[in-house]
Structures are given as C-alpha cells and as structure tokens.
Structure 1
Amino acid sequence: MRRAVVLPLTFALFTAACSAPAPPGGSAPSTADDTFVIALSSEFESLNPMLGYSPDGGSLMFDGLMSRAPDLSMEPALASGPPTTSKDGKTVTFTLRDGVKFHNGQDLTSADVEYTYETMLDPKSSSPIAGDFAAIKEVEAPDPKTVVFTLNYPYAPLVQRTTLGVVPKGASLKETPPGTGPYRFVSWTPGDKVAFTANTAYWGGAPAIPKVVVAFAADDNVRATRMSAGEFDATILPPKVAAPFRTQAGLKVYDVAANDYRGIMFPMKEPVTGDLAIRKAFSLAVDRQAMVDTILAGAGEPAFGPISPATKWYNAVVTGKGTSDPAGAGKLLDEAGWKPGADGIRVKDGKPAKFTLMYPAGDSLRKELALAAASDARKIGLDVEPAGLDWDAIEPRMAKDALMMGWGSAYDPDYINYELFHSAYAGKGFFNPGRYDNPKVDKALEKARESGEEAERKAAYDDFQKTIFEDEAWSFLVFLKHVYVIRGDWQGVTPGVDGHEHATGGLFRNLHTWKPAK
C-alpha cells in the first residue's frame, strides 16, 4: 500500500519533540501539553472519508454507522443497533443513534449518511474506494433517523463496509470535513504531522487523552531512535527493530496478530517475470521459514497466498513448503529452457534471467526480505537486483519491475483481493500493478462478491486462491505480527487482529478509551 490509503511514502520527519519520557515506574507519560504522539511510517493522502480516509474504521475524527470490536465483530456506532436486511438481501436498513452532533455543532441526520455515500459513489468524485461499494445501487433517507441501502445484489460484506466515516451534508471533497468522532481536527502540516484535540462532547464519552499528534517518519530505525529518546509515545516497528524495547523501562511492547502479508508482485507483461517457470522457480527457491525465524524473529509465519490460514476462508490447497527447494527449482527451469550461462545466470533465447526487485528504501523489513529473496534466487541462477527507492520513483516502474509489496485484510476476503487480482483493475495505480489477467480469477471474485450464500462464496474463494497459486501471480512470503511500542502503562489497550496497517486503526482504534493505569 502507498500512504495511508494507498501505499507508504518517504516523508520529512516530525522535528518537534511533543512528549517527554515516561516517569519511573512505567506510569502514563506526563507531557507538558498533554499530547500523545503516535509515529506512523506513512502519511495520509486525504483526511476525507469520501476520498478513502480510514474507510475500515479506526479514525480518530469520524464514526461509521458500525464499528469493529477487537475480535472483529460488528458493533453499532452512529447506528442505534444492527441493521435489518430484507429476505432477498438487497435492502439493508439502519436507524440512527439519538443526540449525535458533528464537531461543528450540527445534528447528525440520515441526510448526512446519504450524502456521504452518494458523493463517494459519484464518478465525478473519482473516489479511490468507490469500487469497494459497487454493490450499492442507492442510498435513501426517508426520514431523519432512517437510512436505507438498496443493493444491486446481495452483498455479504455490506455491514462491514459501513465503518466508512460519515460527514455533514454538503461537505467539500477539497477540505477536511468535521466528523462525529472522539477527536477534532486541528491542523495538518503535510509531510510532518496531523494534530487533533479531544471532542469533550463525544457521544461515546470524552477521551482521557486531551491531545493527539500523528507524526510521520518513514524510516523504521529513525522511528525507533526517536521512540527511545522520548519524542514519540507510540509507534509500530518491525520485530527486530522493536526487540530492544522489550527490556526498556517505561515502555510496553504488544505483539498483535495480523492478516498482513509481504510478497512480491511480478510484472506479467515482461519477458522474464512474465514467464511462469521463472515465477514458480523463484517461489521454490525462497526459504520462507528462514525469513520468519531470522528477519521476523519468529513473529510470523510463511505465506503462500493472500488469505490467512487463521481464517475460515483459507484454502489449504495453496500451502507450500516453508523451506526452499533449489533442486526442484533448477529442474523446473531446465525443463522450461532456462539454461545456466557461463556466469551461472540462466539464459533462454539470448535473454538472461534477470530482473529488478524494488522496495521502499525506509522500510527495513521489506529491505531484508528483498535481500534474502534475491540471495535465494541467485542460488538457482536467477539474477535479482534489489533496489531501495522512494515511492515516487517506484510508482512509474511497477509495470516493468517486481516490487516487494504489503497488503492484507482481517475482514471479508472481498476486501483488497478484488482490486489486487481482478483484471478490471490492471495497471490502476497500486491495485494490480503487475497487470495480472485471468478470466477464471475474475469469475471467482465476481461470484464471491455477488453471492449471498456463504458456502457458495467459500467455494469461489477456494477457486480464486487455487488459481493465483497455480499462476504464481505473486510470490507471497510471510504473514507477520504487528509490534507496537507504547510509552507508559494504560488501561483499555485491547489487541485484536490487524489488517495491513497504514492509518490510526489497529491497536490505536480505541485510543479515546485509554486511561492511565493506577
């Protein structure tokens, strides 16, 4: 992913220290300005829900009709209770909670919900998340408290999608609109930080933390250094980088389960990476278990597809070997006509088995994975050149060069997979950048999206996983745990299951309920 909504980017660092180290004994931090500073690796592209800001919940500023508990079950937020669904699954009706106000003092009504969704879906808005809501035919507000979604087909994840933040009717796409959430927007310094202040009139109760700053520091080691120095109160780090904090006084480390993977996207139209034999041999050569043991320090597991084995949607057919199989990889390449050259690099029809593997330069985890994968590939005669670049340099090269990517969702398998592997999204930014195109996959994804029957959806997702595994559409490497480092001792920190983390969700999703431990 790039930035908070699309993929991580290299940014100027947050230079002003906004907090002080925790006092002895690990009590909650005592800062001069009552500010809690969260350091993230990537910046938000927008703070407008209609343009894709934190659509899956976890926003500090906005509430959706529904929210997620740590166990991922759905809970009412702006809705007064769960929705009612018609027998055919095509009409879903919500009733709004009483007494909710936006940060500008305006009362929440169903017209605001209608406006939020209709504006986001309007092609003129060019919202990057509109495709996620393609099942919605119409949103209506028959009275101030009632919202009715009419669907084109029974869409099982609809209720999960209503975590989208709601904005006031008439809110501009060009500005940060007021929300109903526990924190109010104060300021945004692009490339630096976003500042928030507590909404003391929040319908869910006033936050105990008066002020929050979300700072951006792309480099993992820089975030770790500044966390140690007391400049940040919380951050997320790769397991190896976080290791020293496990014994540092005044800090707590949380290992949180995540359906978050790292894998290599291959350009399908290039002569080397477009060759199935190359992709399959590469995957056989990679020692995933060694990556888990060393690079992740054991905080993860080998990955062979985009759906976690911990979920009910996983198809065990895609399970491969965690350790490498150089002999099998070499045999496959020999049979496909890729023969070792004088320098040990394989050649076919005069073309060397060589390609570039890009990764974001500030991401130490992806760098180590890329270097390890390149080393394993070299052993079977593939010349893979790792290249650490910033995202502005990576983006225009994705159709030509392989890329170490990170995605993953803890929610319904419709999330992310449709955009990553359906041919309709081929070449559309960071969705399906390798231009993968298989009609069988398109059909399976469409069938799963449009079916109201869980068994039918499961069968479709089984087909989807099996096909992309056979095609080696990506070389999936590892599922990892998210490692949070938090200063002080807080009540209310409730680990759940994370997806791919690029916003203030995850462990921070209920920051407004945190209170200093006594």
Structure 2
Amino acid sequence: MKRIAAPAAVCAAVLVASGCGGASPAAQDQALVDGATFTFNIDSDPGNLDPQAGANSWVQQLGRFGYDPLIHIDANGKLLPGLATEWSVTGNQVKLTVKKGVTCSDGTPFTAANVASNVAWVADPKNKSPLLGVYLPAGTKATADDAASTVTLTAPRVGSFVLNGLAKLSMVCGKGLQDRKALAQGMSGTGPYTLTSVAASDQYTFTKRDGYTWGPDGLSTATNGLPQKVVAKVVPNPTTAANLLLSGGLNAATLIGPDVKRLQAANLYTAKMPLLVGEMWFNQAGGRPAADQSVREALTRALDLPQLAKVLTSGAGTTPTTLSSVVPLACPGDSVSAAVPAHDVEKAKQLLDKAGWVTGADGVRAKGGKPLALTLSFNTAFGTGISAAAELATKTWTELGVKITAKPQDTTAVNGSLFGTGDWDIAWVGVGSSSPDQLVPFVSGPVPPTGTNFAHIDNAPYAEGVAAATKLQGADSCDVWLKAEAKLVGDVDVVPFANDVIQTFGKGARFENIGGLVPTSIRMLAG
C-alpha cells in the first residue's frame, strides 16, 4: 500500500500523494539558517530517475528538486504560475504562455519549443510513459511559437481536469531532451536544485542553484533558510529512520506504525499528508482466478474491512469515500460506501461453491484439479501495521479454503510485480490521485508493458461513465465521475478500505507537503 505515484502517483507504490503541511508555532518562529544541509528519508531506491518514464513515488519526489511543472498547485487546489505564466482551456485546446528568462541546469534557456518536445515524448506511445493519460491526455499534440513564448496543446479530449494534470508533469530540458538515457541517473531540468551525487541504494545529493527565481509565487533560491544541499537517504526500516531523526541524522522522516507515537511524544514539527493506505486490487489477467468476479467478490466479502483497516492503521484510519485521496480533492463525495460488497462469510462460501471451487479433504478449494492458490503482495514501507493486516487477511482467506502466500515487498519490488512480471494475484497498493481522471489509465485501457492498467480491468459501465464525464469541465463533471467510480467498486475491480494520515516529522527544519515534500518550502532552523 504505497503510493503509485499516479503518477498521480499508485500513492507510495506507484504515484505521489499530496496533502497539507502543519506546523507548531515554535517551528514557525525559530530563526532561519543559511548554508545548511537538509536530509530526509526514502524507503527504497527509486531506480531510473527519468521523471517522465517512471511512476514510482520516489522518482516523482526526487524529481521535484531538479524539475519544475508548467503550473503549480497549492494546498487549497489553487493553480499558480510555474514555467507557464498564463493558461486557458478552450474546447479541446490548452494554450500556455511560457515564462521568459528561465534556464536549465546546464545554462541553456527553457523555451516554448522545449515544452512541445516534452509533450511529444510523453504522448508518443512507443516511449511507454506511465504519465500518458494520467497527467497528459492521450493523443495530445503540441505546437510552439518561440517568438511569442506560447504553446498550444490539442487533444481529442482534454479531460475534466487537464490543468491539474499539467501541474504534476515535470519538464525536462537541456541535454536531457537529446539524451534520455542520461536521465536514468541524472537530471536535466529547471528546478531549484541540481543532482550532484548518486550512490544507488544509499543516498542522492542535491545542490542549490544560484539565480533560480521562478518558484511558486516567484520564490527564489536566495530566500533565507533554504538549504544549500539536500540529501535523500535510503532507509528501508522505519524504526531506523525514527532513530536517525531523533539523533539528528535526519531532518525529516515520513513514518507510519508504532514509531509514530514516540516521535509525537518528542514534540517535533509535523506535516500531515492524507493518504489512501488500504486499497485492494486483483489481477484479472487471463487464466488468473481473480479474473472471475465471483472470486473477487468472495475474497472481499470474507474480510471484515473495518477491522482490517483498524489493524492496518493502528486504529487511526478512516473509511474511504472516493478512489481519489490526494488533498485537495477535485471531486469530494461518496462513490464507495454503497458499492463495497458487505461482509458476509456465508455468501463468500456460496459464491466460490457456485463458481466451481470445491473444498477438498485438505481444506483447500480446487477446480478441475487446480487449487485456489493466490499470492498477496503488499508494501513493507507501511510498517508493522500492514504486516499484521496481511496476517489477518491470510487467516480469513485460509479459513475460506484459499491457499494464500503472503509476499511482502519494498516499493521498487511491488512496482516490478505490478508493471513488470505480472506475478501477483491480490495487491494492496494505494493509487494516489487528486482528480478522478488521473485514475483512468490505471483501471482501463492498455495493460503493462504498453500501459498502466496493471490489474487488467475491463469495465464497460465505467468506460461509458468516463466518456460522459470527460465531455464536462471541472466540478460540473464530478457527479458523473463518482457514478463511474462506483461501478468499479461494485464490480470488485478495486476495493478501498482504509484512509490514514501519514506524518512527516521534522527536526531542525520545517516544510510543506503538497503533492509530496515541496523543495522551495524547506526552511532550516537554528537550535
């Protein structure tokens, strides 16, 4: 249950979630320090750092230091100028005015033509960008006018929240446009920091750029308190991360689980991030047992989802009401409560019996001589809570007659299973998004390796709802989107069961979480 950095980012597993930062008055009032180093934890190595080629949440998070989007979005959902100073949406076109005077990390200017090149790369299906259809509408074409510093994007359908998507799309520039391979372990962008050192599976070091003046609300790197260097340190174990924070080895640590209480007791600075941590997916590829809706429904009905959520979140969680969980939500409402199959163990048994899965002498169900054997993949980054929840689910399904193999994995391994090998049956991963249109490629359309529909979902009523919703703009589309989402939940294609508030604790620094840690919000503190 990590974000799929949907690339709204499968929220710690595949895409990045967002939320609002909070601060104690003491942290706000402390004196600022210049020239310091800010160190924070990531729970696994991100691998390929190309921000347009990977959906891993840590790829997206690290990319925020080296790259900028065309538009920024604040904690209240307000769109702010970024690399684009103005924008408009008319029919199936988006027109943007590109800010003049912006430079890439190699000193070359960032131009309207660069924007067009970025759009062309992401939009080209042969590049297999997981961001296509999530942050950028499929079929988008871009034309640039460098003299006027304008770019016009044209798509078959721009979608209900196209500007929200562009606010998540990092812009590559400079040498990176000519050599994409160089982005695997390097960065070429307009961001406030440059990547200066890579030690895979250990740490990534960034150095502040001089002359950067185009941050959110015109923020520059000359701002007092911004760290001179930033170190992202790979710390897989949450207890180790907590110890490092308390001892001064980290300035920020994002944690869940039992270590949270002792950090809370230390009265540290805290930024809070709402996150969908309990979301169940089923592999519906041909030949997989969960391709049968009866099997998916039986597995879901067998579980006491509120109890499972309580175990997962140590009693702190809440019940999800939409498939989008990243604050600020574009479409608040309830597409879940009435659609989730109710807890009913007897009904679960009947469904499997009717589907031909008969209990054998060993207690395991089988059909045609083949046992009902499934793997449950979950992300170890969510600490002991998810392991305990997996143990509870495994026990319940075993009693139902299912042979379950629990498969704990780190973020990179989970993504490898979902988008690479396809060797999984049930997965607990939260796909994080702030608007419902960003979920579409994860629950429909092409499957890996050509697409991001990792569960092989084919839900005709949902597709009809999407077609209707994308004809509408903004809030006017929300009712249609929510009804479409309810079709996915009702057909047990995806089952959200637990929200939580993920906390990033700070020591010697304060910061904001808006779509992840915001580089330009970091302030180093005295004392």
TM-score of Structure 1 vs Structure 2, range by shorter chain: 0.7 to 0.9
Rounded to whole Å, the distance in 1 between the matches of 2:4 and 2:462 is: 27
Letter paired with 1:444: G
Residue 64 in 1 paired to residue 82 in 2? Answer: no
Partner of 1:146: 150
Structure 2 counterpart of 1:330, from 345, 349, 352:
349
Rounded to whole Å, the distance in 2 between the matches of 1:154 and 1:430 is: 19
Offset of residue 395 of structure 1 = 5.4
Greater fraction of residues in helix = 2
Residue 192 in 1 paired to residue 214 in 2? Answer: no
TM-score, normalisation: structure 2: 0.79
Partner of 1:119: 121
Offset of residue 173 of structure 1 = 1.0
Letter paired with 1:325: D
Mapping of 1:90-105 within 5 angstroms? 90-105=92-107
Rounded to whole Å, the distance in 2 between the matches of 1:56 and 1:237 is: 16
Segment of structure 1 superposing worse, 229-238 or 30-39:
30-39
Partner of 1:501: none
Residue 442 in 1 paired to residue 463 in 2? Answer: yes
Partner of 1:239: 257
% of aligned pairs identical? 21
Rounded to whole Å, the distance in 1 between the matches of 2:292 and 2:436 is: 28
What's the RMSD between the two structures over aligned residues? 3.8
Q: Is the 8 A contact 1:135 1:151 kept in 2?
A: yes
Q: What are the superposed Cα offsets for residues 443-500 of structure 1, whole Å, 9 maximum, x if unpaired?
A: 4334434x1345774454344323322321234332222121221353xx3455xxxx
Structure 1 counterpart of 2:403, from 383, 393, 396:
383
Rounded to whole Å, the distance in 1 between the matches of 2:420 and 2:150 is: 47
Query: Structure 1 residues 234 and 298, CA, compared in 2 at 3 Å: closer, same or farther?
Result: same
Q: What are the superposed Cα offsets for residues 26-74 of structure 1, whole Å, 9 maximum, x if unpaired?
A: 9989999821111112333433344358669970121122011012321
Q: Is the 8 A contact 1:267 1:398 kept in 2?
A: no
Mapping of 1:18-417 within 5 angstroms? 34-52=36-54, 59-81=64-86, 83-86=87-90, 89-123=91-125, 125-132=127-134, 133=136, 134-163=138-167, 164-168=169-173, 171=177, 172-175=179-182, 176-203=186-213, 204-206=219-221, 207=223, 208-248=226-266, 251-259=268-276, 261-270=278-287, 272-303=289-320, 306-308=323-325, 312=331, 314-316=333-335, 318-319=337-338, 324-361=343-380, 363-364=382-383, 365-389=385-409, 391=413, 394=417, 399-415=422-438, 417=439
Q: Is the 8 A contact 1:38 1:234 kept in 2?
A: yes
Pairs aligned (count): 486
Query: Structure 1 residues 216 and 322, CA, compared in 2 at 3 Å: closer, same or farther?
Result: farther
Letter paired with 2:442: L
Q: What are the superposed Cα offsets for residues 113-171 of structure 1, whole Å, 9 maximum, x if unpaired?
A: 22222233344544332343214222322525222222323433221222222233553
Q: Is the 8 A contact 1:353 1:383 kept in 2?
A: yes
Letter paired with 2:303: V
Query: Structure 1 residues 348 and 179, CA, compared in 2 at 3 Å: closer, same or farther?
Result: closer
Letter paired with 2:173: P
Rounded to whole Å, the distance in 2 between the matches of 1:219 and 1:429 is: 33
Query: Structure 1 residues 323 and 248, CA, compared in 2 at 3 Å: closer, same or farther?
Result: farther
Gaps of 5+ in 2: 14-25, 214-218
Offset of residue 25 of structure 1 = 10
Query: Structure 1 residues 167 and 254, CA, compared in 2 at 3 Å: closer, same or farther?
Result: closer
Rounded to whole Å, the distance in 1 between the matches of 2:404 and 2:320 is: 20
Q: Is the 8 A contact 1:286 1:323 kept in 2?
A: no
Offset of residue 414 of structure 1 = 1.3
Q: Is the 8 A contact 2:104 2:174 kept in 1?
A: no
Offset of residue 196 of structure 1 = 0.7
Rounded to whole Å, the distance in 1 between the matches of 2:27 and 2:489 is: 50
Rounded to whole Å, the distance in 1 between the matches of 2:3 and 2:336 is: 31
Offset of residue 283 of structure 1 = 0.8
Q: Which has the higher contact order (CA 8 A, sep 6+)?
A: 2
Letter paired with 1:409: G
Rounded to whole Å, the distance in 2 between the matches of 1:363 and 1:429 is: 29
Query: Structure 1 residues 96 and 474, CA, compared in 2 at 3 Å: closer, same or farther?
Result: closer
Partner of 1:18: none
